[in-house]
Chains A and B, each alone.
Chain A
Amino acid sequence: MEKSNKKQQKHYLRRDVLRIGGGVVLSTPFVGRAWAQTTEINMLAWYGHGEPDMVGAFEEANNVKFVPKYYAGGDNMLALIAQSPPGTYDIILSDGEFVQQLNAAGYIEALDPNDYPFEDMLHEDFTKFPGHWDGDTLYSMILRGGHLGVSYNTTAMSAEEASSYEGFWKPELKGKVGHFDWHLPNLGMMSLKNGNGAGLWDLTGDQWQAVQDTTMSLRQQVGGFFDYGGTFNGLKNGEMLAMCGIGDWITGVLERDGAPVASVIPKEGGIQFTESYCIGKGSSKADLVKSFIQYMLSPEGQVKSAQMLAYPGFCVTKAGRAMLQEVDPKEAKRSHQMDGMPNDPIALINEGRIHYRDIPQQQSLEDWNDFWSEYKNA
């Protein structure tokens, strides 16, 4: 259709020049006009992946500019791609469980496994992550992951109480439990609470009904439904004392900021979100995108991902983990990414306490979504 989505726009300012100071910038805002043209890379991702802390160095080195479009959930991502002309998005950051759907709809290009460091993965699951391969063809490259469990304010809840999803029902928390406004992680947790364990996504009609009942019984505790920003603010200012549907990816940021919050993987088990890169079908910049993915899988990129300002994720490569321990031991420690530490994310996976987030097996996403709307209205 139209080319305009891909149309080259001049890159007006280079970040490093601008960092010199606002005053100078204010007087010469468009000084960069005459500079060499910059290639734009359209990125579809969760919030934060296209921000300078993630892509800045790569932009500098390669004279490219990332133009991010942020989505709010896997189905939202699919919808955004569906309504845009093919080739609109050069790089797509997808949740692991949605890769298969992206592939099925023909939205993404195949990748060459030889381009990426599969030999260096921290866990064998990461080399053959479900849905990322179609037979021997690779479609998506895992970038990082994070674990979801009980996130709570440490002044309102003890680690003991948080060690079970039961903790959300604590009477003192009435009106202080928040939900991240997406059905998958929340209902997944309720399913875990019901003891479905590894079968948390594969629910029979009765089990699904039980999950709905459990969820509904939590409703009276709930103080609100939030997007990323709202979740953040709610936990930080004490408006919410416990959050369902999130994990260290949010509390980690707040912890760095000194807030009394933490996330634990409760005894019923936790959920892992997995974020992976795909190359958009029809992208004219596939080579650039490939080198970006390679860069993000390099130790340097893995450290950036672990330190990501918007929300952290754990490293998937050994080299990345090693480098993080070396350059930012504080963050490595905070996120337990050290061998032998309790709650080391890789160890948790090995212990079988972590379940990869998936989509419902016996129900449709729509059913879950409908129930979620009902729940919000209850």
Chain B
Amino acid sequence: MSTKHKIDLYALTWRLPIILWQLIFFVGPVVFMIAISFFVVKNYRMTEAFEFVNWQRMLTRGYFWDSYWYTLFIASLSAAIAMMLAFPAAWALAFRASENLRRGAVFLLIIPFFTSYLVRTFSWYVILAESGVLNAMLGYVGLGPFKMLNTHFGTVVGYLTLTLPLAVILQTVTMANIDKTLVEAARNLGCKPLATIWRVVLPLSKTGFVVTALFCFILAFGDFVAPFYLGGSQEPTLPILILDTTKSGQQWPRAAVVAIMMMLTLFAVAFTAIMLAYRKPKVAR
């Protein structure tokens, strides 16, 4: 706590190694990736250079932009669906469930996070197949079969596998932390239940919800497993494009271009979201 200008060995011990570690293993790779996007590939070998050819090539390709808008769309859509599906459950857990029940539910929802996502995806594959579990069950009640695999539906189911538990957990925790008396006060003042949610619960949970939606978006945006195995990679999302690009002929520089475009998009989305989340709520909406 001294204000001396001597080198404080103790303070540096907790600071310097982390800075170094993160510079080498986090900043390093990201910066290097940016550098790579200017390299060129000759005979399947990457050669150092400073050329814009990769940028030019990728950004002028129709399929890049098709993938880009599709990925943005499907990731946003699945984040929105995850948020909406999660809300009633989270609301019930936050306001209607006992504390023990809530804790148990959150605990259960943590479990899937630590089971293999690949295995769960593979399981969906079997469930959603035309001859799969779900269609068989629907068949008993005379419905279907429906084509669910290799469709946008399949992709979204895959994304939800990843994001829905997270959305429910974060929403529940957010709403459980709302001061209950505010909700009761609103009810007491004659606010109808739905209006209470709209005028009291949602504004109070805004920050938490925006962050939750952002996480859902990030997870879906960067996932290649769901669109590939459940969506039949049509249309290919950006992560699949990255894989395709690296697979075909060491085109790392072009993959780097795609990756950088993804990062820029994410930063833009995250920035907007954070601005939204921390903006002062309008009074009396």
Contacts and interface: CB of A to CB of B under 8 A. Distances in A.
A79 B247 contact: yes
A238 B148 CA distance: 12
Which of B228, B229, B234 is packed against the most chain A CB atoms within 10 Å?
B234
Nearest to A369: B248
Given A225-B234, A373-B63, A239 B249 contact: no
Interface stretch (B26-34, B123-131, B259-267): B123-131
Contacts of B61: 370, 373-374
Contacts of A223: 147, 150, 232, 234
B5 to A, nearest CB: 43
Contacts of B250: 75, 78-79, 82-83
Given A239-B129, A373-B244, A374-B63, A225 B249 contact: no
Q: Report, as a range, how many residues of chain B touch the other chain.
A: 20 to 34
Contacts of A369: 248-249
Given A76-B247, A79-B249, A225 B233 contact: yes
Contacts of A72: 247
A365 interface: yes
Q: 9 closest Cβ contacts across the A-B interface?
A: A224-B232, A79-B250, A224-B150, A75-B249, A377-B66, A377-B63, A76-B247, A237-B129, A78-B44
Interface in A348-370: 365-366, 369-370
Contacts of B241: 373
Contact of B44 (A82, A225, A374): A82
Interface string B62-98: 1100110010000000000000000000000000000
Given A105-B43, A105-B44, A237-B131, A376 B63 contact: yes
Interface in A191-244: 222-227, 230, 233-234, 237-239
Given A75-B248, A224-B233, A376-B233, A239 B149 contact: yes
B33 to A, nearest CB: 15
27 contacts: A73-B247, A75-B247, A78-B44, A79-B44, A79-B247, A82-B44, A82-B250, A178-B232, A181-B233, A223-B150, A223-B232, A224-B232, A224-B233, A224-B234, A227-B228, A230-B232, A233-B125, A237-B132, A238-B129, A239-B129, A239-B130, A373-B236, A374-B61, A374-B63, A376-B235, A377-B70, A377-B235
Given A75-B247, A178-B232, 11 more contacts: A75-B248, A76-B248, A79-B249, A225-B232, A225-B233, A226-B233, A230-B228, A237-B129, A239-B150, A377-B66, A377-B236
A241 to B, nearest CB: 10
Interface string B185-202: 000000000000000000
Contacts of A366: 248-249
Contacts, number: 101
Contacts of B244: 373
B208 to A, nearest CB: 36
Which of A227, A234, A239 is packed against the most chain B CB atoms within 10 Å?
A239
A246 to B, nearest CB: 15
A239 B232 CA distance: 11
Interface of A: 72-73, 75-76, 78-79, 81-83, 101, 104-105, 175, 178, 181, 222-227, 230, 233-234, 237-239, 365-366, 369-370, 373-374, 376-377
Interface in B212-231: 228-229, 231
Contacts of B132: 237
B173 to A, nearest CB: 37
Contacts of A224: 149-150, 231-234
A135 to B, nearest CB: 21
Which of A78, A226, A366, A376 is packed against the most chain B CB atoms within 10 Å?
A376
Contact of A365 (B62, B232, B248): B248
A79 B246 contact: yes
A256 B247 CA distance: 31
Contacts of B62: 374, 377
Given A224-B150, A365-B248, A238 B43 contact: no
Contacts of B248: 73, 75-76, 79, 365-366, 369
Given A82-B45, A105-B44, A373-B236, A230 B249 contact: no
Please report whether the interface of chain A is mostly helix, strand, loop or mixed according to DSSP: helix
B67 A226 contact: no
A73 B247 CA distance: 8
Contacts of B44: 75, 78-79, 81-82, 101, 105
Interface string B235-271: 1100001001011111000000000000000000000
A46 to B, nearest CB: 13
Which of B63, B150, B241, B250 is packed against the most chain A CB atoms within 10 Å?
B150
A239 B247 CA distance: 26
A212 B228 CA distance: 24
Contacts of A79: 44, 246-250
A366 B236 CA distance: 18
A238 B233 contact: no
A175 B150 CA distance: 9
A75 B44 CA distance: 8
A72 B248 CA distance: 9
B247 A222 contact: no
Which of A79, A223, A227, A234 is packed against the most chain B CB atoms within 10 Å?
A79
Contacts of A373: 61, 63, 236, 241, 244
Nearest to A81: B44
A86 to B, nearest CB: 12
Contacts of B126: 237
A300 B45 CA distance: 38
A137 B96 CA distance: 79
B249 A377 contact: no
Contacts of B234: 222-225, 376
B249 A175 contact: no
Given A82-B45, A376-B233, A238 B247 contact: no
